[in-house]
Amino acid sequence: MAYVNNIKMFVRVFELGSMSAAARDQRTSPAVASARIAELEKHLGVRLFNRTTRRLQPTENGRLFYEGARKVLEAIDDAEAAVMASTQNLRGTVFVAAPLGVGRRFIAPHVPEFKDAYPQIDVRLRLSDRKIDVIGEGLDMAFHLGLLEDSTLKMRLIAECPRILCASPAYIAARGDPETGERLIAEKHDCLNLRFPGATEFQWTLLAPGGPKRFEVAGPFETDDGDVLTGWALDGRGIVMKPIFEVAEYLRDGRLVPVVRDTPPVPVQLTCLTQHRRLRDPKIRAFTDFIIVKCREELSKAMQGITLPDLSVKPA
């Protein structure tokens, strides 16, 4: 088993390009990671990485070994999955990522129920509104809320999620309702923006006359936490774009009010992304199927009593 663990560490070091990142991924220390790589190199009699103070570069032998090592680990995963499926003795750990709003509302509350049904499966849930690299971060699956780009991952659609532009009654009383994307920009409204590392500008895609149109927006506040944006909007600090389910309770009680109704945002999709080979693992299928059902139930409850925006394309 020690040799297999050494191979696992090598594969993650190769894929992540960092000893410390691979150590974090495998829940151990950089010293242990380095020792495992050294032990593997001693066993093989070759150097797998060239090390400098700044970089960790695979050697040619390292590249050759990676291809075979990855296939070995996939074969072990498949064999373990076949045994678990035949005995229904599901066990192991599922690594999951989700946006903050989705994770807090729809996933985290149901993880204990899943654990009760499958006591030998552990769940490691990471919540973040930043962009997630499913393969690079060693995740089994990630829930994604947005407009999905082309991906090599297997996608399961959970639901179409309409979005809304909204603000507090206090903000509207002070600044007015811009009604259209053009007035939103011309009147220089304060837009509350979700910013990730590396973002250089903000654009909101709205259904303007003639079709979707991008508007470059600006404002005095930005954050990488969507729930913080909602809090600022409730405090009267500006206009926020949100999936309706995240602000439905505030729309129902009037603490937030729809604005820019003539050019509503383009809807997004809530999806579950999984590496193709991981779908053969019965514990991952069990968690995916369970949570998708719960997500759809929670979405339905959240949207009760909410009037959806008119998403028909307006004539030019």
Q: The domain spanning residue 181 has which CATH number?
A: 3.40.190.290
Q: What is the mean pLDDT of residues 62-80?
A: 80
Q: Are residues 167 and 203 in the same domain?
A: yes
pLDDT band at 56 (very low <50, low <70, confident <90, very high): confident
Cα end-to-end distance, the chain, whole Å:
66
Nearest by Cα to 206 from 125, 75, 311, 111 = 311
Alpha-carbon gap, residue 55 to 200, rounded angstroms: 28
Evaluate if residue 230 carries a pLDDT over 60: yes
Q: Are residues 131 and 207 in the same domain?
A: no
Is pLDDT larger for residue 245 or for residue 133?
245
Evaluate if residue 204 carries a pLDDT over 70: yes
Strands of the sheet containing 239-243, edge to edge, are 222-223, 191-194, 239-243, 163-167, 257-258
Q: Are residues 126 and 42 in the same domain?
A: no
Q: What is the mean pLDDT of residues 161-178?
A: 95
Report residue 97: phi and psi, to 5°. -125, 150
Evaluate if residue 36 carries a pLDDT over 60: yes
In a domain, 215, yes or no: yes
State the pLDDT at residue 184: 93
Q: Which two tokens stand for residue 254?
A: 């009037």
Q: Are residues 260 and 273 in the same domain?
A: no
In a domain, 309, yes or no: no
Give the pairing type, strands 121-127 and 92-98.
parallel
Q: Are residues 145 and 277 in the same domain?
A: yes
Residue 103 domain boundaries: 90-158+269-302
In a domain, 120, yes or no: yes
User: Is-contact 166 258, C-beta < 8 A?
Assistant: yes
Is pLDDT larger for residue 186 or for residue 3?
186
Domain-ending residue, one of 86, 115, 134: 86
User: Is-contact 125 287, C-beta < 8 A?
Assistant: no
Q: What is the mean pLDDT of residues 136-140?
A: 82
In a domain, 180, yes or no: yes
Q: What is the mean pLDDT of residues 247-254?
A: 94
Q: What is the mean pLDDT of residues 296-313?
A: 80
Q: What global pTM score does this model have?
A: 0.72
Q: Are residues 151 and 108 in the same domain?
A: yes
Report residue 39: phi and psi, to 5°. -65, -40
**Counted domains in the chain:** 3
Q: Which tens digit of pLDDT belongs to each residue from 146-158? A: 877 656 788 899 9
Q: Are residues 213 and 281 in the same domain?
A: no
State the pLDDT at residue 210: 81
pLDDT band at 88 (very low <50, low <70, confident <90, very high): low
What is the domain-level CATH number for residue 143?
A: 3.40.190.10
Alpha-carbon gap, residue 201 to 203, rounded angstroms: 7
Evaluate if residue 190 carries a pLDDT over 70: yes
Q: Are residues 8 and 139 in the same domain?
A: no
Is pLDDT larger for residue 33 or for residue 257?
257
Is pLDDT larger for residue 281 or for residue 257?
257
| Residue percentage of the chain with pLDDT more than 90 | 40
State the pLDDT at residue 89: 73
Alpha-carbon gap, residue 125 to 113, rounded angstroms: 14
Q: Compute how many other C-beta atoms are within 10 angstroms of the C-beta atom of residue 265.
A: 22
Domain-ending residue, one of 38, 68, 86: 86
Give the pairing type, strands 163-167 and 239-243.
antiparallel
